[in-house]
Amino acid sequence: MKYANKYKDIIVNKYDNYKEDERFNRKSQSFEFRTTLHYIQKFLKKGSKILEIGAGTGRYSIALAKMGYDVVAVELVESNLKVLRENSKGLNNLISYQGDVLNLQFEDNTFDMVLCLGPMYHLFNKRDKNRAISETIRVCKPKGICMFAYIPHTSILWNYGVRKGGLSHLAYALNKDGSIKDTPKEIFNSYFIEDFAKQFQKTNTTFLKNVATDGLAPLMRDYIDGGKMSDENFELLYKLHLTTCERLDHQGYSSHMLYICKKN
């Protein structure tokens, strides 16, 4: 295989020892799922054929298949794929494969929407990042929609560094400009928002939106998940979040961002 993620073993070990299927169960973490699905639905058209790359245990793919869309899910980690297949039994409109974003086994211009909602977290050099973006765009139809999830530098500084007490550990990886070095042993990489967008300058795409999918919810996790917020106020907060998640002054601190573009 010419292109493959050489850090696959590190990624697999991470997810083999992590309950990915429970990740959205907390209220604060549900912001990311609900907001991402909200924007997916905004751009879907009747009869759209969807590819999700890095589908994890299938939370998005299964939700979309249950809505009636034809979905193909590709996942690198075998243990995640096993859960996905177990959870999607009976959904004949969802097909799943083990695969790598760096070497997608699909023809050009195949899908109406392509979701890359995990792979960009685990790529540690410019070549692989560009390859993941080009492969995602390649298999999307002209006028189709591509969505890429990514992590901002600042969210790691405040969420992991401050909230989780990891500043001393994080300090070695910080550059003078506040960016965080790509370090495979740390599993996750991150970006400044403007730098993520620059990767698309020479692609055959048109930028549509940048969305802070969970906003400040992860930083407020102890309050939101700790029983201090009523269900009514939580739903009110989520509705307010949807009105502000595209604003520049609400981005950067979000633990996850969603870059949305259209293939020309």
- Please give the pLDDT value at position 218: 85
**Position 52 in a domain:** yes
**Position 121 in a domain:** yes
Please report, in tens digits, the pLDDT of each residue of the chain (264 residues total): 567 888 899 999 989 888 888 888 888 899 999 999 999 999 999 999 999 999 999 999 999 999 999 999 999 999 999 999 999 999 999 999 999 999 999 999 999 999 999 999 999 999 999 999 999 999 999 999 999 999 999 888 888 888 788 888 888 888 989 899 998 988 899 999 999 999 999 999 999 999 999 998 988 888 898 888 999 999 999 999 999 999 998 888 899 999 999 999
Residue 119: closest CA among 70, 67, 66, 188? 188
Residue 61: closest CA among 83, 30, 31? 83
181 and 157 Cβ atoms separated by less than 8 Å: no
Which DSSP string do the residues of 67-103 spell out, in sequence order? TT-EEEEEES-HHHHHHHHHHTTT-TTEEEEE--GGG
- Please give the pLDDT value at position 18: 86
Q: Which residue has the tokens 């405040």?
A: 158
Total of domains in the chain:
1
**Position 139 in a domain:** yes
Residue 199: closest CA among 253, 120, 145? 120
**Position 3 in a domain:** no
- Please give the pLDDT value at position 2: 67
- Please give the pLDDT value at position 160: 81
**Position 81 in a domain:** yes
Q: Which two tokens stand for residue 162?
A: 């401050």
The CATH number linked to 245 is 3.40.50.150
Whole-structure pTM value: 0.95
**Position 156 in a domain:** yes
Q: Which domain holds residue 70?
A: 8-263
**Position 2 in a domain:** no
**Position 1 in a domain:** no
- Please give the pLDDT value at position 24: 82
